Each structure stands twice: as structure tokens, then as C-alpha cells.
Structure 1
Amino acid sequence: MFTFRQYIPTKTGHLVKSMWYMEHAGGGEGYEEEIVPDGHHELIFYLDGRSQHRIGNGAWIDEPGALIASQTLQSHRLRMSAGSKLYGIRFYPHTLYPLLGVPLHLLGSAMMPMDDLLKGDGLAACIDEDVTASFRRLEHRLLGLLSERAMGQSAGLLRGKAMEQPGYAYVDHSVRRMLAGGGPASIKTLVGKSGVTAKHYDELFKRYVGITPKCLSSILQLNSFIRYKNRFPAKTLTECVYEAGYYDQSHLIRAFNQWVGATPGQYFHSRAEISDLFAAL
């Protein structure tokens, strides 16, 4: 159903986890799927086609041609038009802040037009049918934007110095520990090693990640489980539970209910091509 290509950047790899290209190859039919939260921020650009999304039983909302996909705390339904072609810049959970320079919890769980925060950035002009060249242009332009932030004045200077701000190093260390461990982490231990209070630690995460460390850890763990189960489809859910760090199957079921709104069995019997792809990134 989908053509998918990924590029791992070399010059912006400290901020960008990957860049990707996706093409819907379903002929004249569109595509719908319930998208699972994955803990990452992305910049998404449509070359052809468009999509709509809705949360629960709400109204369908048209997505802009260039958008910022912020942290989400619940799944949403995506409806993609036939033949859609799109690019994405996938940031680590905490590394969009240096580019935007605004507390990420203010974005909420939203798909917002990129012009709202990055007007005139020139990123959308970098993409065309040549996927490899588009990846290179995107990385070059992104590097230029970050350099402009560092050399700017007032608010621009603050954006450029984001990684030097107090508390960013704590979040950076904690997030990378979570990613390396597939999500499960002792928040109490991480807070203790940071030397700050639990309340301040949560506030730092909301600022640089957009959600609390507990939420991020849980979302990353869920995606780790999805990734592992897809890698070993012959294994039962019970066998995969412990590999992903869940205490037992009821623990897993609660996580799926919270983040997906479905049971594990329902998820793996549904069409989940996009969520499966991004759980593996």
C-alpha cells in the first residue's frame, strides 16, 4: 500500500532522528487508519494529495500542506487521499524546541500549519519528485535555519541557545536513556540523578518535550512493544509482554486502552501500516 524511504541525516543528526518519504500506492482508493502516539515531533510536507484527521467522533479536519505534528496523548483517525506523496522531518522527542524556541506544551495535541511558527522558513520549497535530492536540500535548509537562530537577535538568539538553557541537559539525558531502553524507565531514579525536584523535572519535560516524563516513557514503551511484536509475529502477546518490559498482560492492555483506545488483539488485526512503520523508526 505504501512506498517508504528513510534518510538518516549526518549534519543535523543531534536534532533530527530521520527524514522520510511516503507515497500512497493504493490506486484510486484512499486510506484510513487510527494513528498511535509515538512520542516524536515531526514537520510534514505534502507534495501531492492531502489528508484529514479527527479525534474520536469529532469532525474531520483538513490538514495543511505543511504542518507541525506535535505530541499527542491519544490516537487520531487519519484519512489520506489516493496517491498522496509526503515528506517528513522526524525530531527526537525533545529536539524540536531548539528550532521553534517556544515551550512545546503550548502546542498542545495539534496538527498546526507550519506557517504559524516557521513562516518563510523555505523548507517546503526543498521537496520535489527527486527523493534523494529533496532529503539533502531539507537537511541543508534546516542547518541554515539553525544557524540563523544562533546568529539572530533577541528571541532568535534564545532559540539558537536553546540547548544551553538550564535543564535542557537533564531532559536530553533522560530522553536518550528512555529511547535506548525502549521506553521503560524509572522516573524516580532519573529525577534523583538530575538533582532537581520532581515538580521541576516535570516542568522541564513539558517545556522541551511537551508532555511529562511518565507519559513519554509509557508511549515509547508501547511503540517498542508494537515494534517487537511485528518483528516476531509468531510469538504470542504474552511472550512479547515481558520483552517490552510490561509486568503482565493486564499492564499491556491498560497501555493499549490508554493510548490506542483498543485492545492489543484489535490493534494487530486492524490496518495499521503507518503506525507500524513509525513504531519501527
Structure 2
Amino acid sequence: MELTFRHTAIHPRLRGYIDRIYVLECDRRIPRPDLKMIVPNGCVRLMLPFRNSLSAQREGRCKIAGTHRLALVGVCDLPFTVDVLSDAPSGIIGIEFSPGGAYRFFNVKQCELKNQVLQLEDVWGKLARHLEERAGHAPGAEEKIRLLQEVLAGMLRDDRDNVFDYCIDRINTSAGRVSIRELEAETGYGSRWLNMKFAEKLGVSPKGLCAITRFQAVFQALANHPHTILDNRQFYHLYYDQAHFIREFKRFTGWPPSRFESSAGDFGKMFYRS
């Protein structure tokens, strides 16, 4: 099996709002023993299967995106698996919006998208169908990405929310260790207001994003340095104790750390390798 994964450059106007853009291609279906899991990372995703059809499964529910149909994946706090429908060559373009970026493109309450996979047409209407048609006629992956970025740059709304953006930055720079009380003190807004703001702009609470941010620090290190991170008990300082670490890791992957490290394949990890 030949599996290729590559990142592509982000349009200057979209930097800061999009974390990464990638192309994943495979000459046949990924074997079942290789875990095809995508874990929570605080990002909303836009996915375009340009060869073969894509299926996403979460909590026993399956959503299918046909070839050149744009799928919008809301922020998640649960893992999900992706696969293609037929054992044939496949190609997928993925765009991951930063936690503070998605609300600038999609005029919908992000909590309504949480743990959901929708057709972009459900959010953008006819514009999405027109974009899918144009992407279908574009000759290659790079041209399709150029087209997608061009449209996204035009959809970027100038409605910055300074308080929300401050909280996102504070959570990121603290590696998820800032408390809600600290955010209250620093912004002058209460926890109820902050939770409502995060539900609208991101889809998960500040506490939820902190948990995802801590987990991502561990998961990205695990992707780059397997078989050493857990043995050395690195990143335990991000948690109250070992039990807290294991509980949150299992929440976001479905498995305890030791079993995940020994059983999981490369598919989910390749997204975070440096």
C-alpha cells in the first residue's frame, strides 16, 4: 500500500485562521488493522474527497461525503474514524481552521456543529454547490486547493471578537492550564458569559478546550516520539495526577495510553508529525 501525506502552503490572508491544509492520497483502502482515527484538536475541518467517497463514523453514526462533495466537520470532543467507501485509489483534501478562526467563515452557532459531520451545502447553500462543481473541474489537488483558498479568503468576515480571541490565545499559550477563574479575572466577564461565547464561536467550553489543548500536547509528542513519551511520564505536569491523565487520554482516543501506543497505526498520527 502506498500512502502519501503532505501539507500545503496557506494563503497569506488566511494565516491565523487556518492551522493546516493537507492532501492525503492512497492507492487503495487502508487496511483495517491500521487505526483510522482522528482525535479532537479543537479545530473545525473542511474535507473534500476528490477521488473515491469518504465516510466518517462517530458513536455508531456514519456520514458519507461523495466525490467532490464538501464535508464540514464541527469541533469534536470525541474521536471519530474515517474511511473510503471502495477499495480503490483515494484522495482527500483537508482544511483545519484554528479554534479562533472557524466563526469568521461560517455564520452559524458552532455548538450546532459540535461532533457533527454536515454537507457544506447545509451551511453555505448554493455557494457550496457552485464551489463543488468548480472543484470537480479543477485538474489536480493543488488547483483545487487554490480554488478553495480563494473562496475562503473572500468569505472571511471582519467581525473579530476581542474577548473570545484573547481567551483562545490565553488557553494556547498556557498549554491548557489557565483556569476559568483566571479568564474571568482577566476579561471581566463571568463564567456563564464565557461559556455562552465559546458555545457560539467554537462549540466547546473554555474548560473543554483546555482539556483538548493539554491532550494535544501529549498526542503530538507521541506522534513524533513513540515509545518514549509515556515511558518517561512526560507531560504529567499538565494534569492533577496520573489517573487524571489516563482518564482524559481515554476520553479523547477511546483507549488508555498504553494500549493506544501499542495498537494504533500511523494514520491518525501522521497529521501531527513535524
Under TM normalisation by the shorter chain, which class is it?
Answer: 0.7 to 0.9
- 1:210-221 to 2 correspondence within 5 Å? 210-221=203-214
Query: How far did residue 29 of structure 1 move?
Result: 5.3
> Structure 1 residues 193, 258: closer, same or farther in 2, change over 3 A?
same
The runs of 5 or more residues in structure 2 that have no matched partner are none
Larger deviation, residues 200-209 vs 26-35: 26-35
The equivalent position to 1:249 in structure 2, one of 238, 242, 245, is 242
Over the residues paired in the alignment, what is the CA RMSD in angstroms?
2.5
Structure 1 residue 101 and structure 2 residue 107: aligned?
A: yes
Q: Which residue of structure 1 lines up, in the alignment, with residue 258 of structure 2? A: 265
Q: Which residue of structure 1 lines up, in the alignment, with residue 188 of structure 2? A: 195
Counterpart CA distance in 1 for 2:211 and 2:265 is 19
Query: How far did residue 161 of structure 1 move?
Result: 4.4
The runs of 5 or more residues in structure 1 that have no matched partner are 147-159
Counterpart CA distance in 1 for 2:30 and 2:76 is 30
Structure 1 residue 162 and structure 2 residue 147: aligned?
A: no
> Structure 1 residues 279, 38: closer, same or farther in 2, change over 3 A?
farther
> Structure 1 residues 237, 15: closer, same or farther in 2, change over 3 A?
same
Counterpart CA distance in 2 for 1:180 and 1:18 is 19
Quick one: percent identity of the two aligned structures?
A: 20
Counterpart CA distance in 2 for 1:136 and 1:59 is 32
Query: For 1:102, what is the secondary structure of its paired residue?
Result: coil
Q: How many residues align?
A: 263
> Structure 1 residues 264, 41: closer, same or farther in 2, change over 3 A?
same
Structure 1 residue 39 and structure 2 residue 42: aligned?
A: yes
Query: How far did residue 62 of structure 1 move?
Result: 2.4
Query: For 1:239, what is the secondary structure of its paired residue?
Result: coil
Q: Which residue of structure 1 lines up, in the alignment, with residue 143 of structure 2? A: 133
The equivalent position to 2:84 in structure 1, one of 80, 83, 102, is 80
Query: How far did residue 126 of structure 1 move?
Result: 3.6
Q: Which residue of structure 2 lines up, in the alignment, with residue 68 of structure 1? A: 72
> Structure 1 residues 184, 63: closer, same or farther in 2, change over 3 A?
farther
Query: For 1:11, what is the secondary structure of its paired residue?
Result: helix
| Structure 1 stretches of 4+ moved >6 Å | none
Q: Is the 8 A contact 2:236 2:245 kept in 1?
A: no
Query: How far did residue 48 of structure 1 move?
Result: 0.7
> Structure 1 residues 29, 278: closer, same or farther in 2, change over 3 A?
closer
Render the CA deviation track for 1:44-95: whole Å, top value 9, x for unaligned.
Answer: 1110112223334x25432343110101121223233442201122111131
Counterpart CA distance in 2 for 1:236 and 1:45 is 33
Q: Is the 8 A contact 1:97 1:162 kept in 2?
A: no
Q: Which residue of structure 1 lines up, in the alignment, with residue 57 of structure 2? A: 54
Structure 1 residue 23 and structure 2 residue 25: aligned?
A: yes
Counterpart CA distance in 2 for 1:246 and 1:79 is 33
Structure 1 residue 227 and structure 2 residue 233: aligned?
A: no
Query: For 2:77, what is the secondary structure of its paired residue?
Result: coil
Structure 1 residue 112 and structure 2 residue 152: aligned?
A: no
Counterpart CA distance in 1 for 2:56 and 2:266 is 16
Q: Which residue of structure 2 lines up, in the alignment, with residue 154 of structure 1? A: none
Q: Which residue of structure 1 lines up, in the alignment, with residue 6 of structure 2? A: 5
Query: How far did residue 133 of structure 1 move?
Result: 3.3
2:124 partner letter: L
Q: Is the 8 A contact 1:70 1:109 kept in 2?
A: yes
State the TM-score, normalized to the length of structure 1. 0.83
Larger deviation, residues 13-22 vs 30-39: 30-39
- 1:173-212 to 2 correspondence within 5 Å? 173-212=166-205
Render the CA deviation track for 1:128-177: whole Å, top value 9, x for unaligned.
Answer: 4533333333222211233xxxxxxxxxxxxx3432xxxx2122122123
2:94 partner letter: G
Query: For 2:19, what is the secondary structure of its paired residue?
Result: strand
State the TM-score, normalized to the length of structure 2. 0.84
Q: Which residue of structure 1 lines up, in the alignment, with residue 97 of structure 2? A: 91
